[in-house]
Amino acid sequence: MMTKNTEQKREQVQIVCMDDLVPQNHLLRIIDKAIDWRFIYDLVEDKYSPDFGRPSMDPVVLIKIPFIQYLYGIKSMRQTIKEIEVNIAYRWFLGLEMQEPVPHFSTFGKNYTRRFKDTDLFEQIFSHILMECYKFKLVDPTEVFVDATHVKARANNKKMQKRIAHEEALFYEELLRKEINEDREEHGKKPFKDKDDNQKPEAGSGDNNPHEEVKDEKTIKCSTSDPESGWFRKGEHKNVFAYAVQTVCDKHGWILGYTVNPGNLHDSRTFKGLYDKIKNIGIETLIADCGYRTPAIAKLLVDDGITPLFPYKRPMTKAGFFHKSEYVYDEFYDCYICPNNQVLSYSTTNKEGYREYKSCSHVCRSCPYLCRCTESREHVKVVTRHLWEEYMELCEDIRHDLDMKELYKLRKETIERLFGSAKENHGFRYTQMVGKARMEMKAGLTFACMNLKKLAGILQRREEKKYLPSAI
């Protein structure tokens, strides 16, 4: 039977409780039960005045609004406010009545620039939620996974300019310089002066380290709309301005820390900033990809009592030539033995921290393997060895352990899955905000949402399990 009472239903007046309109298993209801949001009042107490100015918006509501945005991956704050206007669950979560007006979309942005700018509020929120996870003994920081992902910046690729950039000093530069000079003095060489120009690798060595970092000036592309972002290209992806978000998590997928850097900086250069945040949480093993496989990082971890686990890295030697592993190092005589059983003796220690071992030109000239050894016009083969090479050899031994091989396989289930979930479900592919500080805010709230969502789900399942009837 057809009915024509639609208009009547639209216009009828009903008395209902808003709490009854939100399902008991709704995500926001579960999240709201998992944490006491009043901790935000203590964090922002010094940002408000009780005696002056107009009555302010509730700071808990102010923080919950971007929480909704990042929790559901809504693309912008403007769209978030539109969703709140018509979504009863969102209103219930914020504590807004049905007829109460929703704050303007610019409210959070104005508070950010005027009240929360240059503060660590969002990092404190992330840390507080992480501490709640620790309280329930869900986090295991003994084995952690480190990686970085790139988030597209709000910058037009066509609006750029070139500028001269000075590379920042590496975190290990001072220590390495000291050991270089000590090593040179031991071999009867003069130490380098602080103002010496950087030595260039000798031609024909074929063993130049790809991670060699030279402190020098270089020309980079800079966005005019977001100067703090970096020009980034990976694989076959198109060139974009982006931010690199470096993250660490445990084997259960809990996010333990993060840093935000320009997208053009290599992971090995920005690792120290993240490591300083997490080094005292009880780490025993740190698992990372090839981007972190450098002598400096290996030494840093081993000296701090942490086991580094890096994957195999394919040799970058030119096709048809001997790999560096085919030249055997003799520790006692401090020399290399080539595949033709000839000695490569110590020559010098360069400014990048590599000892250079050279062959005899008159011997190499008649060597049957010359075409597979070097293309040097002087017929001299140069093999380099870093001063901290023993740490890399230790990492190689660790990699071959069967338990470590199984542990490394967990990367795809932890840190890689974390990034995939953040981009697919929480709007982490790109940012609508300009500047590194705002990107840090976005990263902090997004990761806080992910940890809180996971915590709420676990607590909900535990509560449901309590009320399940026992098996007969």
Instruction: State how far the Cα of 157 lies from the Cα of 224, in Å rounded to an integer.
Output: 9
AA identity, residue 472: I
Residue 454 or 15, more confident: 454
End-to-end CA gap in the chain: 48
- Tell me the pLDDT tens digit for each residue of 97-112: 888 888 888 888 888 7
- Tell me the pLDDT tens digit for each residue of 263-301: 888 899 999 999 999 999 999 999 999 989 999 999 999
Residue 341 or 54, more confident: 341
pLDDT at 22: 85
Instruction: State how far the Cα of 215 lies from the Cα of 355, in Å rounded to an integer.
Output: 19
For residues 307 and 247, membership in a common domain is answered with: yes
Instruction: State how far the Cα of 36 lies from the Cα of 58, in Å rounded to an integer.
Output: 15
- Tell me the pLDDT tens digit for each residue of 197-237: 444 444 444 444 444 444 456 788 888 888 888 888 866 66
For residues 245 and 279, membership in a common domain is answered with: yes
For residues 245 and 301, membership in a common domain is answered with: yes
Lowest mean pLDDT among 65-74, 153-162, 443-452: 153-162
Residue 89 is assigned to a structural domain of this protein: yes
For residues 261 and 404, membership in a common domain is answered with: yes
Residue 381 is assigned to a structural domain of this protein: no
For residues 96 and 153, membership in a common domain is answered with: no
For residues 290 and 218, membership in a common domain is answered with: yes
Lowest mean pLDDT among 15-29, 304-318, 430-444: 15-29
- Over pLDDT 70: what percentage of the chain? 91
Does the pLDDT of residue 471 top 60, yes or no?
A: no
Q: Which residue has the tokens 């007006």?
A: 101
What is the pTM assigned to this prediction?
0.86
Residue 380 or 464, more confident: 380
Does the pLDDT of residue 187 top 70, yes or no?
A: yes
AA identity, residue 375: E
Residue 95 is assigned to a structural domain of this protein: yes
Q: Which two tokens stand for residue 316?
A: 């970058």
Alpha carbon of residue 341 to chain centroid:
45
Residue 347 is assigned to a structural domain of this protein: no
Q: What is the mean pLDDT of the chain?
A: 86
For residues 79 and 151, membership in a common domain is answered with: no
- Note the residue count of the chain: 472
For residue 300, the domain's CATH number is 3.30.420
Q: Which of 67, 58, 39 is nearest to 100 (CA)?
A: 58
Could you tell me the pLDDT band of residue 306, with boundaries at 50, 70 and 90? very high
For residues 90 and 163, membership in a common domain is answered with: no
For residues 146 and 108, membership in a common domain is answered with: no
pLDDT at 207: 46
pLDDT at 4: 67
pLDDT at 206: 43
Residue 75 has what DSSP assignment? S
pLDDT at 235: 65
Q: Which of 59, 64, 63, 68 is nearest to 87 (CA)?
A: 68
Q: Which residue has the tokens 């580094």?
A: 308
pLDDT at 155: 86
Does the pLDDT of residue 472 top 60, yes or no?
A: no
pLDDT at 2: 57
Helical axes 27-34 vs 59-72, angle rounded to 10°: 130
Residue 145 is assigned to a structural domain of this protein: yes
Q: Which two tokens stand for residue 314?
A: 């394919």
Domain end marker among 85, 119, 153: 119
Does the pLDDT of residue 35 top 60, yes or no?
A: yes
Q: Which residue has the tokens 């000590």?
A: 182
Q: Which residues pair with 151 in a beta bridge?
A: 243
What's the CA angle centered on 140, arms 400 and 121, to 5 degrees?
Answer: 120
Residue 207 is assigned to a structural domain of this protein: no
Residue 133 is assigned to a structural domain of this protein: no
Q: Tell me which residue range forms the domain holding 92.
A: 15-119
228 backbone φψ class: left, alpha, beta (φ>0; ψ -120 to 50): alpha
Cα separation values, 14 from 85, 253, 350, 394, 467, Å = 19, 45, 82, 73, 34
pLDDT at 465: 81
For residues 238 and 103, membership in a common domain is answered with: no
Helical axes 267-278 vs 295-303, angle rounded to 10°: 10
For residues 232 and 300, membership in a common domain is answered with: yes
Does the pLDDT of residue 435 top 90, yes or no?
A: no
Residue 428 is assigned to a structural domain of this protein: yes
Alpha carbon of residue 173 to chain centroid:
22
Q: Which two tokens stand for residue 437?
A: 């500080």
Q: How many domains does the chain have?
A: 2
pLDDT at 247: 95
pLDDT at 196: 47
For residues 113 and 146, membership in a common domain is answered with: no
